[in-house]
């Protein structure tokens, strides 16, 4: 008899908790909605045009570009193979600039990966005894992650002139911060048994890292690195827009000149590249860590 | 069993552990040389040696110096003989009363430049002393200044201009019409109160003291409102405008992210192969996601700026479109990876399609959903800065303006520091919220 009472009591308790949870969730959603509507209204006020006046014009730019591309006829598909004039008088096709953009991303990712790997070890609480070092490296990664890439790129363009170095250094700096945070999370989740075994057999700190930790974590590191590479391809295209070379810089020129067919062609190339890299890196990530980890 | 047989059994059981794997070694070696070859190609393709040769390092040092120091200009007009002291060469920020390191007396001006340097200015000459010893002397000539002393390595002497920087904090420029001395001081000048403010020259601590106790400075308003309005309305640092712009940027990130998450959720169910049996609809939705993601936020913002004009609304729409694609991909993958057992369990208890999705799938993907949304909230703050720079407004536009004028790098530094601080706070806040909301389940994310 008392058991059924206890169960009934529990059911009632559960009912109360459930109701409270629903109220909280509802309140949270309402708050979110209010913030959203308020935010959009503030943004609309600060904007030079409003939602209603803009809606009919939303297809203006795309249709403008596409109609210019259409008037080129079949020639549109040949634009990527046409030779463009660069600032320094050297002539290249779009494919050259596309490769430059991808190279920028590759180099930045390699450097970011290498620095990120080293720093992540110093930022892992389980691998470094001196917690002071961990704290300092973590603050460094916080700062390097928070630095907007475009700012560093603009500074470096100011010093080096228009050159891919600016974009590479900027992206590599940010990538170092982003990857070292993710890597250190992987490191901290590593199984420490191998580490302890190596410690018992008298291994040095570097040996413990190399034989005890790296074999466990590298597939995840590679996976995160590939994910970052996808992001960096976009970043290098955008930084080209502010003058760091590559396809982005060409894009900026044609946006300023309002050459619709060229704009459409570059957008098409960028989309195809990004989607291709997406697919390739997803495939590579599956290969490296298998389907289990995801 | 002796140790040698022990070794042999182990060696036959695990040959790879004992014998170095030739193929693996060759792969490492190949990879290493491949990387070196690639970097050599990059060195040539990016013209790195050329870029370093052309790099202007004095620009870099000047920029670095200017970001944490400010300078006073002392100008002597050789036409009128008038002496002026101002901040950063801004004529509107001229001092009515000279600071104590400038002594002007009947056509002769002595300036203590700091760092052990002293300068003397008059219509007929300019002299620079280091620790009391004369090192530079110029005199006016018919076409420009004439150098009377020995030319030193750090000086630039041209027919119409003589300039030099004996110390990074001391600089002089002599032309035909005027002599300019630049005296650097470490720090950010007038950070709290600008030149025109009644509280100019008051330190922030003294100002805080005033708000708590002390005489009323302005009879029409309380000290607290005076101090805050003076700081907020600082003309040189534009605190009010900068913080408002920062708020707009956060707003862009927030609205863009939340709208994208709300839109992507129903669409991602349509794209998941364990929910939606119609393959063509699935494929279509997935291609839409790819398209939204592939056209970058930058291009979306170009399109929306054309339609809605410059401003944060266009920024919100750009982030919304791009992130709908990203979220759609991530969410639909999470749905596809959801454990079947829970769905089967719920449907075996008699649940319909909607119920089995609601009670079987949603609880499983909720942690991924929340953690990804929070993560993007932080990363979109940075993206909003970037697209703001390209016309969507907010702190990005402020930063671009500050960098473009290129005079006051300390303003640029201030805005950058603010952005970094906000991003770090957002990062920590979203991390805290993530652990609070999903308690230890976040590892399933990504």
Query: What ranges do the domains of chain A cover?
Result: 2-55, 80-289
**Testing the interface with B: which of A42, A47, A170, A275 to mutate, by most B Cβ within 10 A?**
A47
Is there a contact between B296 and A238 if contact means CB atoms under 8 Å apart?
Answer: yes
CA distance A55 to B244: 27
**Residue B217, domain member (yes or no):** no
Is there a contact between B337 and A161 if contact means CB atoms under 8 Å apart?
Answer: no
Kindly state whether residues B304 and B396 are assigned to the same domain: yes
Backbone torsions φ then ψ of B438, nearest 5 degrees? -125, 10
CA distance A242 to A251: 10
**Residue B234, domain member (yes or no):** no
Shortest distance, CA A1 to any CA of chain B (angstroms): 28
Kindly state whether residues B387 and B274 are assigned to the same domain: yes
Helix (H, G, I), strand (E, B) or coil at B222: coil
Half-sphere exposure of A180 (CA within 13 A, CB side): 29
CA distance B231 to B210: 14
Q: Which residue would you say has higher pLDDT here, B442 or B244?
A: B244
Is the predicted pLDDT of residue B14 greater than 60, yes or no? Answer: yes
CA distance A250 to A252: 5
Name the residue range of residue B155's domain: 67-186
Shortest distance, CA A284 to any CA of chain B (angstroms): 16
**Residue B137, domain member (yes or no):** yes
Confidence of residue B442 (pLDDT cuts 50, 70, 90): very low
Q: Is the dihedral of CA B436, B437, B439, B443 positive or negative?
A: negative
pLDDT at B324: 95
pLDDT at A87: 57
pLDDT at B322: 93
Contact B390/A at CB under 8 A: yes
**Testing the interface with B: which of A53, A59, A110, A150 to mutate, by most B Cβ within 10 A?**
A150
pLDDT at A123: 92
ipTM of the complex: 0.82
Q: Which residue would you say has higher pLDDT here, B49 or B216?
A: B49
**Residue B201, domain member (yes or no):** no
Kindly state whether residues B286 and B380 are assigned to the same domain: yes
Kindly state whether residues B76 and B8 are assigned to the same domain: no
Half-sphere exposure of B303 (CA within 13 A, CB side): 26
CA distance B94 to B86: 4
Q: What is the mean pLDDT of residues B271-278?
A: 85
pLDDT at B371: 84
**Residues in chain A where the model's pLDDT stays below 70:** 1-3, 85-90, 289-294
Q: Which residue would you say has higher pLDDT here, B441 or B111?
A: B111
Is there a contact between A270 and B294 if contact means CB atoms under 8 Å apart?
Answer: yes
Lowest mean pLDDT: which of A8-12, B231-235, B377-381?
B231-235
**Residue B233, domain member (yes or no):** no
Q: What angle do CA A21, A25, A28 make, to 5 degrees?
A: 140
Kindly state whether residues B37 and B105 are assigned to the same domain: no
How many A-B residue pairs are in contact by the CB < 8 A criterion? 167
**Residue B84, domain member (yes or no):** yes
Kindly state whether residues B75 and B151 are assigned to the same domain: yes
Output the average pLDDT for chain B: 84
Q: What is the mean pLDDT of residues B325-342?
A: 88
pLDDT at B223: 77
Kindly state whether residues B118 and B250 are assigned to the same domain: no
Bridge partners, A85 (sequence order): A91
Nearest CA in chain A to B442: A185
Confidence of residue B5 (pLDDT cuts 50, 70, 90): low
**Residue B193, domain member (yes or no):** no
* B166-198: pLDDT as tens digits: 888 888 888 888 888 888 888 777 777 777 777
Residues of A whose CB is below 8 A from B252: 43
Kindly state whether residues B173 and B72 are assigned to the same domain: yes
CA distance A261 to A271: 15
Is the predicted pLDDT of residue B445 greater than 70, yes or no? Answer: no
Lowest mean pLDDT: which of A29-38, B27-36, B138-147?
B138-147
pTM of the model: 0.81
Of A44, A150, A271, the CB nearest to B313: A44
Burial class (CB in 10 A: 0-12, 13-18, 19+), B309: middle
Helix (H, G, I), strand (E, B) or coil at A264: helix
pLDDT at A293: 41
pLDDT at A292: 40
Confidence of residue B19 (pLDDT cuts 50, 70, 90): low
Q: Which residue would you say has higher pLDDT here, B236 or A104?
A: A104
pLDDT at B2: 55
Q: Which residue would you say has higher pLDDT here, B443 or B358?
A: B358
Confidence of residue B28 (pLDDT cuts 50, 70, 90): confident
Cβ-based neighbours of B274, under 8 Å, separated by 6 or more: B335, B336, B338, B340, B343
Kindly state whether residues B8 and B85 are assigned to the same domain: no
CATH at B276: 1.10.3720.10
Domain count, chain B: 3
Residues of B whose CB is below 8 A from A160: 51-52, 54-55
Most confident of A179-193, B107-121, B401-415: A179-193
**Residue B216, domain member (yes or no):** no
Contact B140, B147 (CB under 8 A): no
Residues of A whose CB is below 8 A from B35: 110
pLDDT at A85: 62
Kindly state whether residues B104 and B146 are assigned to the same domain: yes
CATH top class, domain A80-289: mainly alpha
């Amino acid at each position: 008899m008392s058991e059924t009472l206890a169960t009934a009591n529990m059911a009632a308790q559960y009912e109360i908790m459930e109701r409270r949870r629903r109220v909280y969730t509802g309140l949270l959603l309402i708050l979110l909605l209010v913030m959203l509507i308020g935010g959009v209204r503030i943004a609309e006020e600060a904007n030079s045009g409003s939602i209603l006046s803009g809606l009919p014009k939303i297809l203006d730019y795309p249709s403008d570009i596409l109609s210019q591309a259409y008037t080129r006829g079949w020639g549109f598909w040949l634009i990527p193979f046409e030779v463009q004039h660069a600032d320094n008088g050297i002539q290249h096709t779009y494919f050259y600039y596309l490769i430059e953009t991808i190279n920028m991303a590759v180099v930045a990712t390699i450097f970011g990966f290498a620095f990120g790997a080293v720093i992540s070890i110093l930022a892992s609480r389980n691998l470094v005894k001196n917690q002071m070092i961990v704290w300092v490296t973590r603050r460094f990664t916080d700062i390097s992650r928070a630095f907007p890439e475009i700012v560093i790129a603009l500074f470096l363009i100011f010093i080096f002139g228009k050159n891919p170095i600016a974009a590479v250094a900027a992206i590599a700096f940010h990538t170092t911060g982003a990857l070292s945070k993710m890597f250190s999370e992987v490191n901290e989740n590593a199984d420490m048994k191998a580490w302890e075994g190596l410690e018992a057999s008298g291994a040095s700190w570097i040996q413990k890292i190399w034989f005890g930790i790296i074999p466990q974590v590298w597939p995840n590191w590679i996976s995160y690195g590939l994910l970052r590479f996808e992001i960096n391809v976009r970043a290098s295209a955008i930084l080209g827009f502010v003058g760091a070379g590559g396809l982005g810089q060409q894009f900026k020129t044609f946006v300023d000149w309002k050459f619709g067919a060229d704009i459409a062609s570059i957008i098409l190339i960028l989309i195809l590249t990004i989607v291709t890299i997406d697919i390739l890196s997803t495939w590579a990530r599956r290969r490296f860590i298998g389907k289990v980890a995801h | 069993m002796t140790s040698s047989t022990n070794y042999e059994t182990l060696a036959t059981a695990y040959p790879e552990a004992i014998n170095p794997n030739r193929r693996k070694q060759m792969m490492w070696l190949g990879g290493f040389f491949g990387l070196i070859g690639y970097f050599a190609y990059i060195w040539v393709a990016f013209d790195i040696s050329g870029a370093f040769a052309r790099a202007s390092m004095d620009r870099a040092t000047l920029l670095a110096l200017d970001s944490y120091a400010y300078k006073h200009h002392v100008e002597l007009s050789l036409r009128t003989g008038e002496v002026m002291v101002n901040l950063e060469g801004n004529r509107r920020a001229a001092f009515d009363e000279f600071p104590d390191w400038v002594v002007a007396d009947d056509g002769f001006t002595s300036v203590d430049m700091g760092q052990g340097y002293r300068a003397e200015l008059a219509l007929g000459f300019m002299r620079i002393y280091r620790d009391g010893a004369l090192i530079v002397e110029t005199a006016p000539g018919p076409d420009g200044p004439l150098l009377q002393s020995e030319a030193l390595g750090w000086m630039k002497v041209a027919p119409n201009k003589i300039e030099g920087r004996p110390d990074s904090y001391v600089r002089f420029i002599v032309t035909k019409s005027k002599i300019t001395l630049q005296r650097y001081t470490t720090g950010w000048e007038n950070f709290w109160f600008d030149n025109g403010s009644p509280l100019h020259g008051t330190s922030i601590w003294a100002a805080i003291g005033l708000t708590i106790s002390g005489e009323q400075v302005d009879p029409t308003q309380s000290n607290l409102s005076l101090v805050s309005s003076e700081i907020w309305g600082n003309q040189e640092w534009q605190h009010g405008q900068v913080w408002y712009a920062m708020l707009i940027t956060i707003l862009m990130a927030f609205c863009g992210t939340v709208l994208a998450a709300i839109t992507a959720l129903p669409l991602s169910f349509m794209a998941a192969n364990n929910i939606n049996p119609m393959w063509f609809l699935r494929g279509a939705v997935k291609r839409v996601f790819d398209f939204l993601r592939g056209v970058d936020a930058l291009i979306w913002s170009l399109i929306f700026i054309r339609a809605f004009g410059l401003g944060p609304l266009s920024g919100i729409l750009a982030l919304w479109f791009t992130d709908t694609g990203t979220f759609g991909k991530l969410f639909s993958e999470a749905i596809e990876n959801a454990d079947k057992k829970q769905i089967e369990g719920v449907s075996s208890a008699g649940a319909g399609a909607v119920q089995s999705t609601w009670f079987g799938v949603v609880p499983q993907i909720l942690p991924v959903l929340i953690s990804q949304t929070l993560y993007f909230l932080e990363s979109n703050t940075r993206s909003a800065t970037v697209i703001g720079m390209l016309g969507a407004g907010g702190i990005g536009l402020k930063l671009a303006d500050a960098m473009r004028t290129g005079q006051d790098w300390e303003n640029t530094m201030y805005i950058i520091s603010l952005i970094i601080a906000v991003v770090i706070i957002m990062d920590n806040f979203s991390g805290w919220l993530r652990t609070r909301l999903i308690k230890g389940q976040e590892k399933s994310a990504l």
